[in-house]
Amino acid sequence: MGLLRFLLVLVVLRFVGRAIAYAVRRASSSPARRPAEAPPQATAEVLVRDRVCNTFVPKSRALRAVVAGHEEYFCSAACRDRAGARAS
């Protein structure tokens, strides 16, 4: 009976020890203790409207074309061709 109690105490102590170690690891890696990092800067990009399919596209990725003497922006070559545009 004494050996059984001894083994039970060892199991309980091991469980408690692991729980404490886990809690210490979580506490040491918490965001509050990490060095502060600057948040990533959001870069806003101008959106232009494709007048054929009525979608908005970032200006840097849009296809430009001249339609009736005005510069227009398109999301794809298919939309540009449907508008009867001349590539610029």
On whether residue 60 sits in a domain, the answer given is yes
Find, among 80, 46, 85, the residue nearest to 68 by Cα: 85
Judgement on whether residues 32 and 52 belong to the same structural domain of the protein: no
Q: For position 85, what pLDDT does the model report?
A: 67
Q: Rounded to whole angstroms, what are the CA distances from 60 to 3, 4, 64?
A: 76, 75, 10
The two structure tokens encoding residue 85? 């545009």
Q: For position 73, what pLDDT does the model report?
A: 93
**CA dihedral of 22, 31, 37, 44, whole degrees rounded to 10:** 120
pTM here is 0.49
Judgement on whether residues 51 and 83 belong to the same structural domain of the protein: yes
On whether residue 22 sits in a domain, the answer given is yes
Q: Which domain holds residue 61?
A: 47-87
Q: Domains in the chain: how many in total?
A: 2
The two structure tokens encoding residue 23? 């809690």
Judgement on whether residues 78 and 55 belong to the same structural domain of the protein: yes
Judgement on whether residues 33 and 59 belong to the same structural domain of the protein: no
Q: Are 83 and 74 in contact (CB under 8 A)?
A: yes
Radius of gyration of the chain (CA): 33
How do residues 65-81 score in pLDDT, each as one tens digit?
Answer: 888 888 999 999 999 88
